[in-house]
Structure 1
Amino acid sequence: MTDYQLPMPKLSSAYLDLIDEDNDLVNYFRLINLYNIHPVVEKCYSHAGPQGYGIGLFLSRILKIKQTFVSDRILARRLSENSTYRHLCLLDKGLTPAHNTYNTLRNNLGVKRYAEIHVNFVNEANKLGLLNPNIKQLPKNRRQGLILIGDSTPIRSYCSSKGIKQKDGSWIFTDPSVSFGRPHHKDKYPVGHKAHSLITITGIPMVSIVSTRRDSDEIHIFPLLDEFKKR
């Protein structure tokens, strides 16, 4: 009897993650409707030169938030090290993007195209009945319509927290919108900005405005409603 040793194809280190039905991150990315992103990202490139990273850049931005990577440098490094991340972001066929590539993406998309992508996802959620579900606990005689809740969230700043203390006890940082320490005792870390949002009763953000940390929530209610009506 002769023994034969057949060469087996090399399996990616992402294989076990991708076939794991209980992997929450993999399942999350599989549920993303790429058509909400692709047409908008396509507008940003002329296609005159070599094919770029395309939609993979935007998917990796989603990965950055899901995995709480605090900088584009960390995101670029994690993508180069982790094959699962590359598969999820459709960046497994070639080189991974450098950190400065994301700055180009932000400049090309701009606020309007980011908002356009968000509107696409909101419209999909509306078709699925997620914006205004039938909740038995609500009064039956209430006025019909979408229930919106105003909320705000401080945005942590990762700039240098070494400020210059002023005579009045306040601090000045490299980013003038950053506040830290005693003036805002609830914030135990440098806070640069605040996101003011209108969200549905199911927690889906409909529209957001970013302001400095010092702004109160009340002054942004009507601007939020005006922006919501435009969409």
Structure 2
Amino acid sequence: MIKPLCLLFLLFPLYAQAVDNGAGQAINPKRDTLSTGLSGHVRDAHSHRDLPARVVCRDQNGVVHGGYYKNHVEGFFTQDGYFQIPLPPGEYDVEVFHGLDYLSQSRRIVIVEGQVVKQEFNLDQWLPLRQLGWVNGDGHAHLYTDRRCDDEMLATVRTICLAQGVDFLCTNQGWAGYDDEHWRHGYDKFSDSDFKLFYGAEMPKYRTGHIWWLGLESTHGYFSAAMDSMYENRYYKSSDMPHWDFNHLP
């Protein structure tokens, strides 16, 4: 159960790192469909539960392979801890991450044509954030899409957030194609005790930026003080809705 406190959401935080050079064999055979590349499994080192993770696999020229985005270096995201990355022969530096509260783990592998290197990554937790009452999320996330009720986008967002240790997301302006009428049913399909989607607002803006307090009693009544009224009053649609708050949302 997510406890109602706050943590600044950082998509790419400064991770602590642990180096490990061991290989493992606990790979799901149902995922072994590669002919050449890397097949891996990520787990919590103590509980041995499958751990969502971000996998960054760089060749000796520093190029990231298997990434979701073509022009960025985020790497490969896995929601259930299992992953496969097709790779041409060569040497690669592999690093596996999970959020702010786990140490990353890195090792070098060698890929040979016609072979699959199998690796087991067991990440150590360095700070029990959930147990301490903290949650990690973003209160202002744009999910632009031309598709109405874009479940594919929400599935991708959920995978990336779980891999990064993100507990909640408040969407705005785009809303993954959902609106006031459909968001409750749509977001519910991608929300559970591990990750929650909420329907947020593009306007008004806040001086607090992406930091949100969720249920923290000491911040009750701070809505008006946190609103950037100077910006709001100059926004071209400000006259359409002079007053706005969260009272209409559950």
With normalisation by structure 1, the TM-score equals 0.28
Greater radius of gyration (CA):
1
* Higher strand residue share: 2
Point out which structure has higher relative CO (alpha carbons under 8 A, 6+ apart): 2
- Bigger fraction of residues in helix: 1
